[in-house]
Amino acid sequence: MLRPNEVRALLDACGTTPAGLRTRALIAALYRAGLRLNEARLLRVKDLDPDARSIRVLHAKGGRARTVGIDHGGTALLIDWLEARKTLGHGVDGWVFCGRSGEPISASYVRVQLQRLGHRAGLDRRVHAHGFRHAHAAELRAEGVDVAVIRRQLGHASLATTIRYLDHLCPAAVVRAIQAREWEVGEVD
C-alpha cells in the first residue's frame, strides 16, 4: 500500500507540464476520492463540483452511480488541471482526463504512466491505480471514519465487502489493537 510520502514523491515527479498536471489530478481522484481507474477515466467536467468538494460518479462498477467527497488538496489539483485543460482548447465540458483528441485517456496509458512515474519518483514498488484506492481506504479507517461511510465512498454494494477490503489492507491494525490490551495475571494457586 502506498504511503503518504510515496504519493508526494509521485506528485513531485509529475512535473508542471499539461500532461503532468493531468496526472497529478488523476492521482488526486484515485487517492483522495478513492475512485477506481475506470470511474476516474470516465468523469466529465460537469461531474465535478469544486465548491462542494464532491464528484458525481456515473460510471461506477455495477452500474450504480454515487457521489463521493474529495478533500481540499485533491480539489486544488483537479482545479489546476481544469485550468490547464482549457488552455489546450478543450473548453469547459467533456471528459476530465482527456488526451489531445479530447477523448478519455486509456487505462493502458495510465498503467504505463504510473509505472514510469514510480521509477522517476525512485519507488522500488509497483505503482498501480488501485493502490491509490487502497491507500485512501486504509487512511480513512486509520482516521476513525466509520466503515459504513467508507463503504459509500468506495461504492461497495455490501458492508461485508468493505470489511473484507479493509481487513486485507490493514492487518497490522488488528495486531496493534490486541497488543495495546492489558492483562494482569494473578498468582496461580
pLDDT digits (tens, 9 = 90+) for 144-161: 899 999 999 999 988 888
pLDDT of residue 106 exceeding 80, the answer is yes
Round to whole Å and give the CA distance between 29 and 77.
Answer: 9
Q: Which three cell numbers stand for residue 17?
A: 507540464
Average pLDDT over residues 16-34: 97
Question: Which of 41-50, 76-85, 152-161, 162-171 shows the lowest per-residue confidence on average (mean pLDDT)?
Answer: 162-171
pLDDT digits (tens, 9 = 90+) for 58-105: 988 888 899 999 999 999 999 999 999 999 988 788 999 999 889 999
Q: What domains sit in the chain, N to C, each tagged with a CATH number?
A: 4-128 (1.10.443.10)
Round to whole Å and give the CA distance between 160 and 149.
Answer: 13
pTM: 0.88
- Reported as a pLDDT band with limits 50, 70 and 90, residue 170 is low
Query: What region does 177 belong to: left with phi over 0, alpha with psi -120 to 50, or beta?
Result: alpha
Which comes out higher in pLDDT, residue 1 or 26?
A: 26
pLDDT score at 64 = 86
pLDDT of residue 172 exceeding 90, the answer is no
Q: Which three cell numbers stand for residue 155?
A: 461504492
User: Which positions are annotated as active-site residues?
Assistant: 36, 61, 130, 133, 156, 165
Round to whole Å and give the CA distance between 16 and 173.
Answer: 37
For the chain, the average pLDDT equals 91
- Reported as a pLDDT band with limits 50, 70 and 90, residue 171 is low
Q: Which residues have C-beta within 8 Å of that of residue 10, sequence separation ≥ 6?
A: 2, 27, 117, 118, 121, 123, 127
